[in-house]
Amino acid sequence: MSFVAKSTYSVPVPKVFRADIFGDGTTVIETEYISGKTLQESWPALSVEEKASFAQQMNAILEPLRSLEGRYIGGVEEGPAVDMRRETEQGGPFSSEADFNKFLRQNAVSRTPKIYHSMLAGLMSNTHRIFFTHGDLSPRNILVRAGRIVRFFRSIFTHIDWHEYADIIFTDSYPGDVMTDHFLGRLDSALGNS
């Protein structure tokens, strides 16, 4: 969050007062208090127009970040990558998409016979663009007030085109109409179907 706050990009992250990592690996970040509700809390009561407005705001905030090319897949300042579908899964940073894909396969299918690992490896592309994005775009991490996005929580990562979409579609907290309206176009583009 500090990286983004110091940059010239207008990504709404809270001001960080202190960050500590304890011996057991637990990270605690002390930030400013900002009033508002999470997008997850607000979503059911929003009109179609308000939902579209939030999708447009997210795009306007994230596009400048996405324009920055990354050198590796992981956290800012070469921290580990996190598979947000299973938050406990961390690894890297990864110097290539092939290494990141291997990490995802070993976490996703640990009890699957090796032949399926090989088949899956053959289906995974290693040519996607690496760029900066938010580490977890679920609605519980987006603070809103008076029709505006006021803060993002969590971290900024460098990731590949499709991973941002996968983190959103496989979360259990995003309403289906958000995924359909805003992110299916991004998936088509990432897969080369545009």
Question: Which CATH number goes with the domain that contains 174?
Answer: 3.90.1200
The structure's pTM equals 0.64
Confidence class of residue 95 from pLDDT cuts 50, 70 and 90?
very high
Segment 69-77 mean pLDDT: 84
116 CB-contact burial (10 Å; exposed 0-12 / middle 13-18 / buried 19+): exposed
Segment 144-173 mean pLDDT: 70
| φ/ψ (deg, to 5) at 57 | -65, -45
Q: Is 50 within the bounds of a domain?
A: yes
pLDDT of amino acid 38: 92
Quote the DSSP letter at residue 111: T
Structural domain containing residue 180: 38-190
For residue 58, the surrounding DSSP H or E stretch is helix 48-66
Confidence class of residue 99 from pLDDT cuts 50, 70 and 90?
very high
Confidence class of residue 90 from pLDDT cuts 50, 70 and 90?
confident
How many structural domains does the chain have? Answer: 1
Q: Is 27 within the bounds of a domain?
A: no
Q: Is 20 within the bounds of a domain?
A: no
Q: Is 49 within the bounds of a domain?
A: yes
Segment 59-63 mean pLDDT: 86
Q: Is 132 within the bounds of a domain?
A: yes
